[in-house]
Amino acid sequence: MAQALRSVTAKDEEQIYATLNDDGAVVVTDLFDADVLEEVDGAIHTALAKVPWCNTAEEGYGSDFFGRKTKRLHGVLQYCPRIEQCMMHPITLATATRWLGHKPQFSTGEVMAIGPGEQQQDLHTDAGSWRRANLSGELLFSMTIALTDFTAANGATVVAPGSHRWPADRPYREADFVAAEMRRGSALFYSGNVLHSGGANRTDTTRVGLYFGYIPFWLQPLENAAITHPAGLLDSLPAATQDFLGYHPQGFQALLG
């Protein structure tokens, strides 16, 4: 079995990056204030109660991959104003900028709630979303915020440390992987090239995480925030956040003068 993922306090930005560089993933503790977490957590749980299990997948392989006993939410900024603060956290943005080597932009946001009895998701890399472009290097920086404790029993993300540098044809074994266990309020920072999956939930409680993906400014994002969020919501956000989301209120008027 691989060694447990290393945890680093949010105050030590250099060690966060060094661990991410070595392992492809790192648990960052003490990143969010308790009042922010409480407000986000309450809003997300209210929203999750309104949707059924397997609410975003079609029948067939999609149901297996996205989870028959998993709930997912998109357009996540609509649920609580404090979620914007989580997405734009200075340490997250600084790490993403350094990791990608470019100004980061939004790719996608998602709530993933893994319910009791869910099986382990198929292993994958998130940067594989752009595999047809045959691009090399780091294309994606990911953050998953634990809104509940993440444990090996309740579906914590399963990660293969160091796999962000493996050759594409390298075989892997179960012993290469470890559960990214972390306390509520911590965050998992990880490379888009690291092998991982949602874990199996063998408990009677639901594991809830809030995910954000960050990509270089020149890459096409997976989510169009102007479509996934209610009309007008993005107009109220700070200009820096609108720019990060690729949203410009005046659209082509800005180009035409």
Please, what are the averages of pLDDT over each run of 10 residues along the chain (257 residues)? 88 98 97 94 97 84 87 98 97 98 97 98 92 82 98 98 93 95 97 97 98 96 96 95 91 51
- Tell me the residue range of the domain where 145 lies: 7-256
What is the pLDDT at residue 149? 97
Cβ–Cβ under 8 Å, residues 98 and 138: no
d(CA 195, CA 193): 7
Does any domain span residue 221? yes
Q: At what angle do helices 13-23 and 90-100 cross, to 10 degrees?
A: 40
Instruction: Find the angle CA(78)-CA(86)-CA(49) to the nearest 5 degrees.
Output: 45
Does any domain span residue 171? yes
What is the pLDDT at residue 73? 97
Q: How many domains does the chain have?
A: 1
Q: What is the CATH number of the domain that holds 134?
A: 2.60.120.620
What is the pLDDT at residue 1? 58
Does any domain span residue 1? no
pTM metric for this prediction: 0.94
